[in-house]
Amino acid sequence: MKIIDTHAHYDDAWFDDNRYELLDSILAQNVLAIINMSVDIPTCDFSIELSKRYDNVFAAVGIHPENIVGTPDSYIDTLRKYGEQPKVVAIGEIGLDYHYENYDAQKQKEIFEQQIMLANELSLPVVIHSRDATEDTLNILRRTTPEKGVVHCFSGSPETALELLGLGLYISFTGVLTFKNAKKAVRSCEAIPIDRIMLETDCPYMAPSPFRGSRCDSSMTIKTAEKLAEIKGLSVDETVSICNENAIRFFNLGVNN
């Protein structure tokens, strides 16, 4: 069964040597569809171009918290224009990241909130990135109430997961779920009903076990599905089928089989 990767970064330089050959090959084999994320205005352009090149590649457009420096004031109008393109299915990835020193929390929060408001205006889902910023992320989500949202690459506690579910959000897991030290992510996964879970790679990063550290691509989504199947006591086919349906429903994907 072919699988959907709900979160990828095919603009990354790690793909420069064989980007299109790789995509041709995995989309012909075991990958049903891909949503390519954006982190700034140039990657929005890339994601939209990629979605035009492949039937089952879709685009998310947005400004990542680590890319806010130099964002022009007019960015929200640019995103609004992009959001009206037929294969743009989400605003993402957006959020808060307090991991590296000298981050501007105030500016990050402002840009995060503005993009959630835009998503609500356009009735698009948001794809949320949150690192070392759980409380501020939750506060903004409580206040802005995105119509539809998914917290990606989740590795937080079951308590945080339940709080997000209470806000109506979905949660997606990368290859991190397969890592030996991912006990907290596994416990959270146990607490989340499968109809609120989506699968992703965040490729080229976060390659699942046994590929950890190497370049990841969407065909490796199956490794995370296998781990999820084990956690939920389901077959891999059932797990893939449910997660594919969740992604199609959540992002309103017009997937061609």
Give the shortest CB-97-to-Zn ion separation in angstroms: 11
Smallest distance, Zn ion to C-beta of residue 257, A? 26
Between 12 and 45, name the residue whose CB sits nearer to Zn ion: 12
Q: Which of residues 217-236 bind Zn ion (CB under 5 A)?
A: none
Of the candidate spans 13-21, 72-80, 175-183, 202-210, the one that interacts with Zn ion by CB under 5 A turns out to be 202-210
Q: Which residue's CB is nearer to Zn ion, number 193 or number 213?
A: 213
Q: Return d(Cα 36, Cα 129) in angstroms, integer.
A: 14
Longest dimension (CA), the chain: 49
> Which of 116/151 has CB closer to Zn ion?
151
- Piece in contact with Zn ion (CB under 5 A), picked from 97-105, 179-187, 196-204, 235-243: 196-204
CB of 63 to Zn ion, least distance (A): 13
Give the one residue of 202, 203, 227, 242 binding Zn ion; rule: CB under 5 A.
202
Closest distance to Zn ion from the beta carbon of 7 (Å)? 6
CB of 198 to Zn ion, least distance (A): 13
Compute CA distances 160 → 10, 134, 142, 188, 192, whole Å. Answer: 30, 8, 13, 8, 11
Closest residue to Zn ion, judged by C-beta, is 202
Contact pattern from residue 17 through residue 56 relative to Zn ion, giving x for each residue in contact according to CB under 5 A and a dash for the rest: --------------------x-------------------
Least distance (Å) from Zn ion to the CB of residue 5?
11
User: Per-residue string for binding with Zn ion, 75-114, x by CB under 5 A?
Assistant: ----------------------------------------
User: Where do contacts with Zn ion occur on this chain (CB under 5 A)?
Assistant: 37, 202
